[in-house]
Structure 1
Amino acid sequence: MILSPIIISLKVSFISTIFTLIIGIALARFITKYNFKGKNILEAMIILPMVLPPSVTGYGLLILLGKRSFLGGFLYKFFDISLIFTLGAACIASFIVSLPLMYQSCKAAFLNIDKTYENTARTLGASEIRIFFRITLPLSWPGVLSGIVLSFARALGEFGATLMIAGNIPGKTQTIPLAIYFAVEGGDNKTANILFAIVLVFSFTLIYSLNMWMKKQNDN
Structure 2
Amino acid sequence: MENTVPAIVKVRSSDLVELHPAARAAYEWCTIYPRWVNASVLPEPLISELSRETLHAVILGEEEDDASKKKKSPRTFQLFSPLWPVLIWPSHRPPNGTQLISYLEHHITTSQIEKAAWRSVISSLIQSVDPDRLSEIRDTLAAHMSEDLHQELLGADKLTDRMLSAWTGRAHNTLMTQRKQRRRREQKSRSSIPSSTSDVITELSKLWSPPHD
- Taking structure 1 as the reference length, the TM-score comes to 0.24
- Which structure has the higher relative contact order (CA within 8 Å, separation 6+)? 1
Structure with bigger helix share is 1
Structure with bigger strand share is 2
